[in-house]
């Protein structure tokens, strides 16, 4: 199966060629190379995926080249393919290929398109390296690679200060997680004497219950290792505590949000936990922690999502919340369900993001939903796609016929697994998940109603006014980057911006003469394809992911007992997701269609609670006070007192001063007078003679 | 040892001196019109002498049958390897000269002849195994060099350079002669091996004085601190091709000579002279590095650079072992093309009026005006600074390795620290060339005469010190090892 080599390295090749050569052959060729490369990778990935679903393919490892052979430590570049990898392959290559295509339309006005496409392909390559890793070090390579690509892409419009800040924030928070991951890898090597994943997983069960001494404390080895590794997963997958970078990452172009911050990179943590599932199975305490974090994130992000105004931020919190589902599914041992949700989520969340991108594109980069309204008549195709995505994420489906949109199958499976696990933490996760599902339904429909229903409200949007002013309703005149530089989006952070009064419908028809139009076909085709995925992915693939151990073929720890228990949960549990979904829908309908004064009244009535949610539980403020400010203070101290006052003064600057003085002296001695030269020679001679004699 | 065998052993010197005499006659007869022809013939003579030395080096020949004239002269692998470098550097000096001298109408037929005689003198220096042979070789080289320094005699700076060189050189010769007479007086011989036997027991004060004075006289030739004062002035004032010659060939000759004196005549008293050599080495490294920083003239900078490099070479001498001598030879073999490349690059630059460019500030933005020269000069500078991918690093590396293995860790550490200071001004030139705006002084490449040969020479030298040089490390190391072994065979 050497096609895996092509799948993985074609994006790298395309990225290098497009990134370095675009000046030679132009932007269009660069875009075509990267996009074509991804479509080839995608076309090669699906047969692999289907072969594994058929259950007739064994996991295998394709060696690439030697990497490090040093004493006990040996690891090579190799591509591992098994069921787990195959799932990630199709997710990554499909979404990436569609995002590449989508970007033709979305980024059409940008002057730096080759760079954008090269970064996208580079990201895809590193992500593929991550999921095909056969040892922890290669996984770390991919892990860091996606972090780098994410940094580059969030800060793609680097002239925009908020984008640069968001890129740095994402990178730094990921470093926090990476430190845990690194320590986990070091510890694993220490304990198992290898970084080879198969070898570790084989040895892991035997290590259960063993202890390790750290700072004269006896600690459970596997728990420590798994917790450290999980810290890495928390960082990458934006779990509670390390989640703060994800909403800000929305500063990046929307295709990036769809690819990296919804479908692929942020799911790397889930993938890692599933890949190392036999290790986690040997550490029950760690699994409990995973469940708790997952459940807490799931609820937390959903609550924040209900209050945000920025369309991308709502979807970002939604992503955070859905990742929480995946983690607590993994935490209770339902790795198959976690991977299934990862799989379906990739489709419907990419769809939602790309749909949102299409809306933003139509609305001239206005992202505040308060300035939307009634868009379904203007951009009907986008509306249909978003509707499908919303039906999928809220889990619409009919239990009795086992048919529904993608999220119905995967989310129900997760809730059932949490309930069926029978542990206290499992029950906690179930209730958290159920409440979160209600909120998911609410904020998703809120988004839909605010955007596509009601009357147009964009007359007061600065972006629209700017566009009308600038180019009379047409927006082909300036690139995004320029746009960002001159006029940073007014709604970068809806939470801190109350400058606009919410517009009322009194002003004529609320459109100010601006009429959004549908996005180009390059953007609509990906929406159509993803719509198909969002509608059918759950229904078609659920038997494979959930019912069959042979499909997994040892790629994850398969809990036969739990899978059996899942079928035996009470009917109300099975229906719970559907019930809360309907409640959420009803509330959203009431508040945003029936009587639009309800949200304002509710927010006023629940003042402190609303503000707490609206300000994202004050995590940013807390971190700013606890970490950022002291860090700056400490940094300033070390800079001014330690570096400038100490090291520089006595080190480089001091040495430079001495050298400078020496140079001046050497010049002075070199007077040009013959007599003084002769004198120095003789003095030198006398000095040497007397030194030798003494 | 019969006379004909001795003559066979001095074949390269014979070729050079005979052709020198003949060419002198040609020059006298045909006048300056024959300058080109004489140059070409001198090149041929040097080439022939070079070829004659190759079998000695590659065969690693040594031992009693390489001794000529009853112990006055020795044509062993060590001497022959040094001769190869000397002849190559002399050849470069001949190739460089016409382009420079013809423009100022100073290209005379004597120039190649003087270079030839200087080469003969240096040949004798590196082969000398007797104080008298040593002195003859040294003076022969020096007399030719004094004239060469003031070759552009209507230029005051050139004349001043020649005069300064001559006066201080005479002083150094006096010191050397005084040391030689003391040595002779206290050991009873002028032959190195006899002196070696005489001082093998205890070194008396007189002989020690002799050693110090001989060392000081030779230190002048290699411009080791504190006997270096003439170097910047002479290098700046002398015509640039001559400076390139001074910075390369005589350095090789004087260092080889110094090594032979120290290892053969005073090989039994290593402890007595090692501290002096260490002092000279460190002083040269530090003063060379510090002095270079304040310079705004490229030639003066390269002068300090050569002082600095001599310091590193002396570390190899101070180690006083086969490995040290071998390291020193490797360093020299890298140093010669490196220095020549530096001077050739400077020679290739002309301003609007066609005059040579010497100020560092004039090099600003060279990468845009003359990119090829700028890149070569960058390789030279990185190489001089000893930054790893460049071959210059290898020279420093082997020298420091030898020092460390001889337990002279402190010496190596100080040397490495001082080379950091050196890196500053080398990198400053790179910065000026690549990052500053063009000063508008230097003309873009045009049809200056002789640029093709200069370009070829620059390309060859740059290639030798570029990372490709590392391909030759094994081969060069083997040659240097055999040469070093031949030196110590009889010591």
Contacts of B227 in chain A (CB under 8 A): 681, 684
pLDDT band at residue A491 using 50, 70 and 90 as cut-offs: very low
**Token reading at B70:** 């009853």
Q: What is the pLDDT of residues A138-185, one digit of tens each?
A: 999 999 999 999 999 999 999 999 999 999 999 999 999 999 999 999
Average pLDDT over residues B120-145: 94
Contacts of B212 in chain A (CB under 8 A): 685, 688-689, 692
pLDDT of residue B449: 58
Q: What is the pLDDT of residues A198-254, one digit of tens each?
A: 999 999 888 888 888 877 788 888 999 999 999 999 999 999 889 999 999 999 999
Contacts of B205 in chain A (CB under 8 A): 693
Q: How far apart are the C-alpha atoms of B16 and A690, rounded to whole Å?
A: 42
In the predicted structure, residue A498 carries a pLDDT above the cut 70: no
Q: Do B291 and A692 touch (CB under 8 A)?
A: no
Q: Do B164 and A677 touch (CB under 8 A)?
A: yes
Three-state DSSP class for residue A672: coil
Q: How far apart are the C-alpha atoms of A346 and A352, rounded to whole Å?
A: 10
Reported ipTM exceeds the 0.90 cut: no
* Whether A694 contacts chain B with CB within 8 A: no
Contacts of A685 in chain B (CB under 8 A): 175, 212-213, 216
pLDDT of residue B94: 93
| Listed ranges A500-504, A560-564, B302-306; the one with the highest mean pLDDT | B302-306
* Whether A688 contacts chain B with CB within 8 A: yes
pLDDT of residue A473: 42
Average pLDDT, chain B: 90
pTM of the model: 0.67
Average pLDDT over residues B69-93: 93
Q: What is the pLDDT of residues B444-482, one digit of tens each?
A: 776 565 678 888 999 999 999 999 989 999 999 999 999
* Whether A579 contacts chain B with CB within 8 A: no
Query: Which of A665, A672, A688 faces B212 most closely, judged by CB atoms?
Result: A688
In the predicted structure, residue A485 carries a pLDDT above the cut 80: no
Q: Per DSSP, what are the bridge partners of residue A404?
A: A397
pLDDT of residue B488: 82
pLDDT of residue B446: 63
Q: Work out the burial of residue A465: count CB atoms within 10 Å of its CB; fewer than 13 is exposed, 13-18 middle, 19 or more buried.
A: middle
pLDDT of residue A278: 92
Query: Which of B229, B293, B421 faces A670 most closely, judged by CB atoms?
Result: B229
Burial letters B434-464, b for 16+ CB under 10 A, else e: beeebbebbbebeebebbeebbebbeebbbb
Beta-strand relationship, B67-68 and A60-70: unpaired
Half-sphere exposure of residue A408: CA atoms within 13 angstroms, side-chain side? 27
pLDDT of residue B450: 61
Q: Do B291 and A663 touch (CB under 8 A)?
A: yes
Q: Which of A651, A661, A688, A693 to mutate to test the interface with B (most CBs of B within 10 A)?
A: A688
Percent pLDDT > 90 in chain B is 62
Query: Which of B212, B226, B293 faces A689 most closely, judged by CB atoms?
Result: B212
pLDDT of residue A470: 65
Beta-strand relationship, A73-81 and A60-70: antiparallel
Q: How far apart are the C-alpha atoms of A565 and A577, rounded to whole Å?
A: 18
**Total Cβ atoms within 10 A of residue B51:** 13
In the predicted structure, residue B160 carries a pLDDT above the cut 70: yes
Q: What is the pLDDT of residues A257-307, one digit of tens each?
A: 999 988 899 999 999 999 999 999 999 999 999 999 999 999 999 999 999
Average pLDDT over residues B379-396: 92
Q: What is the pLDDT of residues A539-559, one digit of tens each?
A: 888 888 887 777 887 888 888
Mind telling me how many Å the CA of B183 is from chain A's nearest CA?
A: 15
Question: Dihedral, CA atoms, B284, B286, B289, B291, nearest 10 degrees?
Answer: -80
Average pLDDT over residues A573-597: 90
* Whether A65 contacts chain B with CB within 8 A: no
Q: What is the pLDDT of residues B236-284, one digit of tens each?
A: 999 999 999 999 999 999 999 999 999 999 988 888 899 899 999 999 9
* Nearest CA-CA partner of B422 in B293, B335, B303, B230: B293
Chain A 651-680, residues with CB within 8 Å of chain B CB atoms? 659-660, 662-667, 669-670, 672, 674, 676-678, 680
Contacts of B164 in chain A (CB under 8 A): 674, 677
Average pLDDT, chain A: 87
CA-to-CA dists, residue A595 to A1, A448, A598, A602, angstroms: 59, 16, 6, 12
Burial letters A167-180, b for 16+ CB under 10 A, else e: bebbbebbebbbeb
């Amino acid at each position: 199966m050497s096609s895996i080599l092509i799948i993985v390295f074609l994006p790298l090749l395309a990225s290098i060629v497009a990134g370095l050569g675009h000046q030679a052959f132009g932007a269009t060729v660069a875009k075509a190379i990267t996009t074509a490369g991804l479509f080839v990778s995608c076309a090669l990935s699906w047969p692999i995926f289907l072969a594994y679903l058929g259950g007739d393919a064994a996991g295998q490892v394709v060696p690439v080249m030697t990497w490090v052979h040093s004493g006990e430590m040996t690891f090579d570049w190799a591509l591992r393919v098994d069921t787990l990898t195959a799932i990630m392959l199709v997710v990554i290559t499909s979404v990436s290929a569609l995002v590449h295509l989508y970007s033709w339309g979305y980024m059409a006005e940008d002057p730096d398109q080759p760079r954008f496409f090269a970064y996208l392909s580079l990201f895809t390559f590193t992500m593929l390296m991550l999921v095909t890793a056969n040892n922890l070090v290669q996984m770390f390579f991919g892990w860091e690679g996606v972090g780098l690509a994410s940094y580059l892409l969030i800060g793609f419009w680097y002239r925009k200060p908020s984008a640069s800040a968001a890129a740095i924030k994402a990178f730094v928070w990921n470093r926090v997680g990476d430190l845990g991951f690194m320590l986990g890898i070091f510890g694993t090597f220490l304990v198992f004497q290898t970084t080879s994943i198969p070898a570790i997983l084989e040895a892991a069960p035997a290590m259960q219950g063993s202890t390790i001494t750290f700072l004269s404390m006896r600690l459970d080895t596997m728990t420590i290792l798994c917790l450290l590794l999980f810290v890495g997963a928390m960082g990458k997958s934006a779990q509670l505590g390390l989640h703060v970078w994800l909403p800000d990452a929305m500063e990046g172009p929307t295709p990036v949000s769809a690819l990296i911050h919804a479908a692929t990179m942020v799911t790397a943590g889930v993938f890692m936990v599933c890949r190392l599932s036999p290790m986690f199975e040997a550490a029950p305490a760690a699994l409990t922690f995973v469940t708790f974090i997952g459940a807490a994130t799931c609820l937390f992000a959903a609550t924040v999502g209900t209050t945000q105004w920025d369309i991308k931020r709502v979807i970002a919190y939604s992503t955070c919340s859905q990742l929480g589902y995946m983690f607590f599914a993994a935490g209770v041992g339902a790795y198959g369900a976690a991977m299934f949700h990862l799989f379906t989520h990739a489709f419907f969340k990419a769809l939602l993001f790309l749909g949102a991108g299409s809306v933003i594109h139509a609305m001239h980069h206005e992202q505040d939903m308060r300035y939307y309204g009634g868009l379904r008549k203007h951009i009907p195709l986008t509306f249909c796609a978003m509707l499908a995505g919303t039906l999928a994420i809220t889990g619409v489906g009919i239990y009795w016929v086992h048919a529904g949109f993608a999220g119905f199958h995967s989310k129900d499976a997760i809730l059932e697994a949490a309930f069926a696990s029978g542990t206290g933490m499992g029950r906690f996760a179930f209730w958290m998940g159920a409440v979160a599902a209600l909120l998911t339904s609410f904020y998703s429909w809120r988004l839909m109603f605010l955007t596509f229903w009601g009357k147009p409200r964009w007359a007061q949007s600065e972006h629209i006014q700017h566009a009308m002013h600038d180019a009379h309703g047409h927006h082909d005149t300036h690139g995004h980057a320029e746009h960002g530089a001159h006029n940073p989006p007014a709604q970068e952070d809806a939470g801190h911006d109350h400058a606009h009064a919410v517009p009322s419908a009194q002003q004529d028809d609320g459109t100010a003469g601006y009429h959004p139009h549908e996005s180009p076909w390059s953007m609509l085709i990906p929406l159509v394809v993803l719509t198909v995925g969002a509608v059918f992915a759950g229904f078609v693939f659920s038997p494979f992911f959930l019912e069959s151990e042979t499909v997994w073929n040892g790629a994850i720890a398969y809990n036969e007992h739990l899978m059996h228990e899942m079928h035996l949960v009470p009917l109300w549990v099975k229906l719970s997701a559907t019930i809360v979904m309907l409640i959420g829908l009803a509330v959203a309908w009431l508040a945003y269609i029936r009587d639009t004064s309800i949200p304002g009244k509710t927010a006023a009535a629940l003042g402190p609670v609303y503000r707490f949610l609206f300000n994202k539980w004050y995590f940013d403020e807390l971190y700013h006070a606890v970490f950022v400010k002291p860090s700056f203070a400490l940094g300033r101290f070390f800079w001014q007192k330690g570096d400038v006052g100490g090291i520089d003064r006595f080190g480089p600057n001091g040495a430079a001063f001495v050298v400078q003085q020496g140079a001046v002296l050497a010049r002075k001695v070199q007077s040009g007078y013959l007599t003084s030269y002769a004198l120095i020679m003789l003095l030198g001679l006398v000095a040497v003679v007397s030194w030798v004699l003494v | 040892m019969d006379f004909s065998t001795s003559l066979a052993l001095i074949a390269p010197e014979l070729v050079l001196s005979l052709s020198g005499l003949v060419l002198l006659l040609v020059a006298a007869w045909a006048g300056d019109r024959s300058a080109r022809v004489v140059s070409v013939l001198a090149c041929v003579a040097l080439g022939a002498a070079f070829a004659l030395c190759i079998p000695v080096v590659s065969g690693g020949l040594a031992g009693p049958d390489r001794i000529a004239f009853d112990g006055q002269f020795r044509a062993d692998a060590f001497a022959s390897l040094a001769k190869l470098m000397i002849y190559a550097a002399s050849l470069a000096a001949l190739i460089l000269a016409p382009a420079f001298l013809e423009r100022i109408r100073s290209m005379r037929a004597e120039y190649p002849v003087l270079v030839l005689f200087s080469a003969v003198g240096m040949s004798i220096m590196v082969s000398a195994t007797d104080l008298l042979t040593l002195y003859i070789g040294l003076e022969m080289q020096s007399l030719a060099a004094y004239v060469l320094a003031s070759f552009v005699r209507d230029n005051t700076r050139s004349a001043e350079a020649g005069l300064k060189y001559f006066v201080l050189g005479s002083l150094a010769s006096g010191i050397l002669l005084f040391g030689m007479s003391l040595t002779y007086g206290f050991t009873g011989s002028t032959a190195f091996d006899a002196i070696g036997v005489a001082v093998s027991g205890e070194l008396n004060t007189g002989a020690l004085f002799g050693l110090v004075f001989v060392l000081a006289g030779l230190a002048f030739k290699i411009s080791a601190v504190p006997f270096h004062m003439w170097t910047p002035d002479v290098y700046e004032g002398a015509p640039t091709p001559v400076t390139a010659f001074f910075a390369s060939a005589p350095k090789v000759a004087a260092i080889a000579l110094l090594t032979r004196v120290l290892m053969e005549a005073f090989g039994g008293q290593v402890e007595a002279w090692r501290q002096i050599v260490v002092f000279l080495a460190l002083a040269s490294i530090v003063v060379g590095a510090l002095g270079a920083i304040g310079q705004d003239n490229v030639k003066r900078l390269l002068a300090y650079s050569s002082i600095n490099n001599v310091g590193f070479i002396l570390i190899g001498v101070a180690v006083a072992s086969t490995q040290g001598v071998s390291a020193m030879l490797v360093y020299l073999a890298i140093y010669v093309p490196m220095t020549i490349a530096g001077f050739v690059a400077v020679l290739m630059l002309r301003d609007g009026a066609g005059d040579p460019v010497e100020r560092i500030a004039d090099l600003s933005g060279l990468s845009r005006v003359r990119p090829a020269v700028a890149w070569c000069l960058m390789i030279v500078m990185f190489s001089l600074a000893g930054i790893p991918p460049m071959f210059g690093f290898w020279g420093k590396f082997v020298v420091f390795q030898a020092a460390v293995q001889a337990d002279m860790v402190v010496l190596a550490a100080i040397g490495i620290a001082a080379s950091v200071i050196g890196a500053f001004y080398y990198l400053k030139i790179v910065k000026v060339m690549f990052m500053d705006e063009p000063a508008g002084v230097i003309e873009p490449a045009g049809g200056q005469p002789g640029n093709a040969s200069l370009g070829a020479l620059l390309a060859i030298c740059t290639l030798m010190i570029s990372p490709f040089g590392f391909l030759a490390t094994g081969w060069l190391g083997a040659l240097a090892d055999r040469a070093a072994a031949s030196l110590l065979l009889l010591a």
